[in-house]
Each structure stands twice: as structure tokens, then as C-alpha cells.
A and B are shown apart, each in its own frame.
Chain A
Amino acid sequence: MANRVIAWIDRRFPFSSFIKHELTEYPTPRNLSYWWNFGFLAGFMLVLQIASGVFLAMHYKPDIRLAFDSVQYIMREVNYGWLLRDLHAVGASAFFIVIYIHMARTLYYGSYRAPRELLWWSGQILLLLLMATAFMGYLLPWGQMSYWGAQVITSLFRATPWVGDELVMWLRGDYVVSDATLNRFFALHYLVPFLIAGMVFIHLVALHAVKSSNPSGINLADKDNIPFHPYFTSKDFYGLGVFLMVFCAFVFFAPEFFIATNNNVPADPLRTPPHIEPEWYFLPFYAILRAIPDTLGGVAAMAMSILVFAVMPYLDRSRLPGGARYRPFYRLLFYVFIVDVAVLSYVGTYPPTPILVSVGRVATFVYFTLFLLLPFVSKKEEAWLRARGLPPELEALLAGENDKTGGGK
């Protein structure tokens, strides 16, 4: 019966061939490590966030007189409301952890390089959409941190030349963050995840055109690819199980871990809390914003700190395949970058004391310098490595690649 139904569909819609081509028989490099698990985990988080979010929206009220209490109502009265809310709130942080690891893997293994530029850029757009969604969602509980976070971030647009004030008023629909702002943020917070889902589709189309990168960094011969199913479906689901253990530990035992204490106080437009800080996933960028002693400069630096990833395919001028594994200087830059981001996060957490401001400025300088150094470092590194003789395994891989192209494949 099932076969007949599928056959009926297949005559009218390429169902079986699509599944076969894009999922079960989709050729995947056999040497993928667990670092290649995080794309799947990001997809899982998107589904979980949309699902929990849709059910939360059935009880939430986007009105400044009701919003804060409706979240408390969800937590206390709605059946399993606490679970939906904690899944969604912890889920936001988990989503960013997964995405940042996914990006770090791309940087470490050089997966952004040709021919994967469009794949990388569609991911960059996904990051910006995710940040916008997270930012707007954070206003909805209407706590003090929600309110002042939104107030500060919408004020960033005041730095726009000429039309800054009008633009900020347009974004808020009022002179300050208000009921109009809450309502539209709710509407957009519901909308953008579906744009993300559409963009994920484009991301996957790009992925399936160029196929997955792999730790060796070269395009593997056909014999080195294995079907996605069952090898990587099982690997991805195993990774999901491990991830869910950690995720559920937070959801059930430390749901408040990622929630600022101040956000348990209803928003007060006349009083800023003595210390405000953004959610942890915005801290490095927030520290960069604070490091520049000029509003427009700070906003520009913050925007650049995210957009600069887009030019990675052009900044990295090394022609050697593979990521940091075969490239000692690139590896050094990578680890300095990771440490620098950690320092910026630390600086962003605390009130701006003179010492921390100086540390933040140095870390901001290092952040951009790493990107600016990359073209020279990668060029010199390649020359140095070639002069020194490449590691035998890399020589072998390179030779294999030359054979393949020479073989007219």
C-alpha cells in the first residue's frame, strides 16, 4: 500500500528521487569529524525554537501592561508553560553556541574558501537574521534588561547621518521604546524565523552544489565519499543525543542561568538599572562598541566586526588546502582570535572602568588587526611551508588532487 502511494506521488512529484539524491545517497566525505555535526544541530535548534515559540505565542500578550505578567502566567499557570518558556529561553543561548561553534569550525578548517563563498555568505546572512530575531525576542518579557537593551540597541541607529533621529523614532514608533515597539518586535520576532527557514533552504542548496568540506580541505575522490544515510544520519543523531543531554541539563536544572536577574523586574522607562549588559552572545560586539569613544565610530566598528567575516575568502590568500591543521601561522591567528573574543566578552560583561576600557580597546585593535594581517600571513606562510617542504601527508593529498584534475575528471 505504502509503495503504491509513493509510486502515485512519484509520477507527479519527484519525491523518491529527491530523497535519494539529497539525503540517502547524498555523497559525504568519510572523514568528517564531530565538528561537522553543528550544522545539523543548528537546524534542530531552529525547529525547536519555532515549535516552542508558536506555542508560547498562544499565551503571550504583546502589550506593555500585560506582557510581563503574561510571561509569569505562562510560567505558573499554563500546562507545561514553564517547559515551553525554558526551552525557548535556553534554546536561544544554545542556538548561538551551536552557530558560533559551526562558524569556528568553518574558520579553523578554511571551509569558507572557494568554491564555498556563497555557502559562507548565506551563513553570514543567517547569522544576522538570527541576531535580529534574538534581539527582538529579548524585548518580549518586558523586564528591565529587555527594555534597556532595546533602548540602547535602537539608539545605535541614531548614529545614522542626517536621518538618525527620524529613523530611531520610526523603529520605535514613539519617542522611546514603548507599546508600539513591543507590538512590532513581537510581529517581527514571529516573522523572521520563517525568513531564516527560507535562507536555510538556500544555504542547503548551496551546500549540496559544492558538497561538504572536510578536515583535509581538498575535494575528495568519489571513492572517499560515503552515502549520507545511514552513516551521517546516525552520526548526527548520536551528536544530537549528546547535545540534548547538556541542553536539557540547563533547561531542567539551571533555566535561569542565561537569564539576567534584572529581567525579573518589570520594565521602568524612567530608571536604567545600575548595570546593564546584553545577552552573552552579543558581548564581544558590545565590547567593541564601547571601545570606540565616538558614537558613529563605535557603531561602525561593531557592524564591521560582524561583516568582516564576509571577506574571509579574499583575505586568506594561501592556496594550500586544508585549514589550520596544516598551517601553523594560520592556526596561531585562529587561537589568538578565539582568546581575543573571550577577552572582549569578559570586558563586555563589566561596567566600563578605565582599566577595562583600555583592555577593551587593545582587544578591539587585536580583533581587526588579525583580519588585516591575514593576507600577508597566509601568503608568507605558504611560501615558507613550500620552501620547507610540505608534510608528507599534505604532499600526498596535493598530489592526489593534481592527479585527479590531470586525469580530466
Chain B
Amino acid sequence: MQTGRSRSKGISKMTERDKVDPERRDFLINTTAILGAVGAAGACWPFISSMNPTSAVKSEAVTEVGLQGIAPGAVHTVAWRGEPVFIFHRNQDEIAAMEQSNGGKDPQPDAARVKHADWLVVVGICTHLGCVPNKTGQGWLCPCHGSIYDNSGRVLSGPAPRNLAVPPYSFVADDKIVIG
């Protein structure tokens, strides 16, 4: 590049101004590239974020359940955040058996998993890969990969790493709970 001034001198002579400073040039290229990359990454965020659950989905996270119709030995399944929650009305034998054991792979006392020993409330989603376990006499059996849970929702065998999760819930009356 020659300015009009240098052309007017007839012979183009490199002035201090025209000399390429490689360090300065590298610095400019690098900072521009970094800034551009950060900007591009930032521009991706709205797209990524749009795939997260909306606040409407998140706010539907409270479920109220009446317990009066659930006979001893029965499991009632309700949906909480779209996930099944098992409400299991346990009988005295089952409670006694559960209080004596600590579970299997993920030991936990039964008392830490219930608010009222008669009622077991657990998220009915296998901690392995998210299937809904089926009720058996001894507890639950996951049909997908054969994980076995006891009547406290604690994993005894199979690929599941953890016990069935206990959702946050509270008794608002003797026969009514609120999950969430």
C-alpha cells in the first residue's frame, strides 16, 4: 500500500509506518480470533438453552395425593413432573422385614427413606436407565435390565447403582401428601 504522499516522492521508500511488525500482527490476529470464537460460542448459548425445560414445565412440579383409597399392600402410582411416583401402603410384616435390613448395594436404613413407616413414597424410575420397575412380592423388578429393589425401594442386585429416589414430599394431613 502506498499513500498518495509517498507516491508523490517518486520512489516508494518504506517508512517506519509501513513496516510490518510481525508481533503486532500476530497479536491482532490472535485477539481477533479469540474474540470471534468467544462471540460465536456465546451466540450458540440461546440455541442450546432453548432445548432446556421451560419454566412452565418446571413449575408443574407439585402433586397432591389423597391416601384414603390405598389399601394395605397396594401401590398407587401418580405422576410428578411427568415421572411415576410409587406410593406403597406397606403392611406390618413388610415394615418389620425392611427395618431389619439395610438394603444391598447402596445401604440405607429404612427409617431414613420414609416419613411414616406405613407409607413408602419413591420415584418409580429405575436408577439404571430410567424404566419403570414392576411390583413383585419382594419389592420391584425392573423389566429392562433386571435390577431388583426391596420393599423400601433399595437396590438389592442388578445394574442399578442407587436406591429408588425419595422425592421431596410432606404429609399435609394424615391421609394426604404433597409431592414436590
| A interface with B by C-beta (< 8 Å) | 148, 151-152, 154-156, 158, 169-176, 178, 180, 184, 269-276, 290, 292-295, 298, 351-352, 357
Q: Which of B117-137 contact A (CB under 8 A)?
A: 124-125, 128-134
- Could you list 11 examples of A-B contacts with CB < 8 Å? A152-B131, A174-B57, A175-B82, A176-B130, A180-B57, A269-B83, A270-B124, A270-B132, A271-B132, A272-B144, A295-B159
Whether the Cβ atoms of B143 and A272 lie closer than 8 Å is: yes
Assembly CA distance A192 to B142 (angstroms): 33
Whether the Cβ atoms of B129 and A173 lie closer than 8 Å is: no
Q: Which of B74-114 contact A (CB under 8 A)?
A: 77, 79, 81-84
Whether the Cβ atoms of A272 and B131 lie closer than 8 Å is: yes
Assembly CA distance A83 to B60 (angstroms): 41
Extra pairs beyond A158-B129, A184-B51, A270-B124 (10, CB < 8 Å): A173-B52, A175-B53, A176-B83, A176-B130, A180-B51, A272-B134, A272-B142, A272-B143, A290-B145, A293-B159
Assembly CA distance A169 to B161 (angstroms): 19
Secondary structure call for the B interface:
loop
- Return the 5 tightest CB-CB contacts between A and B, nearest first: A155-B130, A352-B146, A155-B129, A272-B132, A175-B81
Assembly CA distance A174 to B54 (angstroms): 8
Whether the Cβ atoms of A169 and B144 lie closer than 8 Å is: no
Whether the Cβ atoms of B143 and A273 lie closer than 8 Å is: yes
- Residues in A neighbouring B161, C-beta threshold 8 A: 294-295
Whether the Cβ atoms of B159 and A269 lie closer than 8 Å is: no
Contact with A along B31-45 (1 / 0, CB 8 A): 000000000000000
Contact with A along B2-41 (1 / 0, CB 8 A): 0000000000000000000000000000000000000000
Assembly CA distance A196 to B104 (angstroms): 46
Whether the Cβ atoms of A270 and B52 lie closer than 8 Å is: no
A132 → chain B closest CB, angstroms: 16
- Residues in A neighbouring B145, C-beta threshold 8 A: 290, 352
Assembly CA distance A273 to B81 (angstroms): 21
Whether the Cβ atoms of B143 and A269 lie closer than 8 Å is: no
Give the size of the chain B interface in residues (CB under 8 angstroms): 30
Assembly CA distance A298 to B129 (angstroms): 11
- Residues in A neighbouring B133, C-beta threshold 8 A: 272
Give B125's nearest chain A residue, CB to CB.
A176
Whether the Cβ atoms of B159 and A290 lie closer than 8 Å is: yes
Whether the Cβ atoms of A274 and B57 lie closer than 8 Å is: no
Whether the Cβ atoms of B131 and A269 lie closer than 8 Å is: no
- Residues in B neighbouring A175, C-beta threshold 8 A: 53, 57, 81-83
Assembly CA distance A315 to B161 (angstroms): 34
Whether the Cβ atoms of B129 and A295 lie closer than 8 Å is: yes
Give A274's nearest chain B residue, CB to CB.
B143
- Residues in B neighbouring A155, C-beta threshold 8 A: 128-130
Give A268's nearest chain B residue, CB to CB.
B132
A279 → chain B closest CB, angstroms: 15
Whether the Cβ atoms of A173 and B131 lie closer than 8 Å is: no
Assembly CA distance A269 to B52 (angstroms): 20
- Residues in A neighbouring B83, C-beta threshold 8 A: 175-176, 269
Whether the Cβ atoms of B82 and A174 lie closer than 8 Å is: yes
Whether the Cβ atoms of B51 and A173 lie closer than 8 Å is: yes
Given B82, B128, B131, which contacts A276 in the complex, CB threshold below 8 Å?
B131
Give B79's nearest chain A residue, CB to CB.
A270
Assembly CA distance A274 to B135 (angstroms): 11
Whether the Cβ atoms of A298 and B159 lie closer than 8 Å is: yes
- Residues in A neighbouring B52, C-beta threshold 8 A: 169-170, 173
- Residues in A neighbouring B81, C-beta threshold 8 A: 174-176
Given contacts A152-B131, A276-B144, A294-B159, contact A270 B53 (CB under 8 A): no
B48, B77, B84, B144 pick with most chain A CB within 10 angstroms: B144
Whether the Cβ atoms of A176 and B131 lie closer than 8 Å is: no
A171, A175, A184 pick with most chain B CB within 10 angstroms: A175
Whether the Cβ atoms of B130 and A151 lie closer than 8 Å is: yes
- Residues in A neighbouring B143, C-beta threshold 8 A: 272-276, 351
Assembly CA distance A183 to B79 (angstroms): 21
Assembly CA distance A375 to B144 (angstroms): 37
Whether the Cβ atoms of B53 and A169 lie closer than 8 Å is: yes
- Residues in B neighbouring A273, C-beta threshold 8 A: 143
A241 → chain B closest CB, angstroms: 42
Whether the Cβ atoms of B146 and A351 lie closer than 8 Å is: yes
Assembly CA distance A274 to B146 (angstroms): 11
Give B82's nearest chain A residue, CB to CB.
A176
Whether the Cβ atoms of B82 and A178 lie closer than 8 Å is: yes
- Residues in B neighbouring A148, C-beta threshold 8 A: 131, 144
B77, B129, B146, B160 pick with most chain A CB within 10 angstroms: B129
- Residues in A neighbouring B128, C-beta threshold 8 A: 155, 295
B83, B128, B160 pick with most chain A CB within 10 angstroms: B128
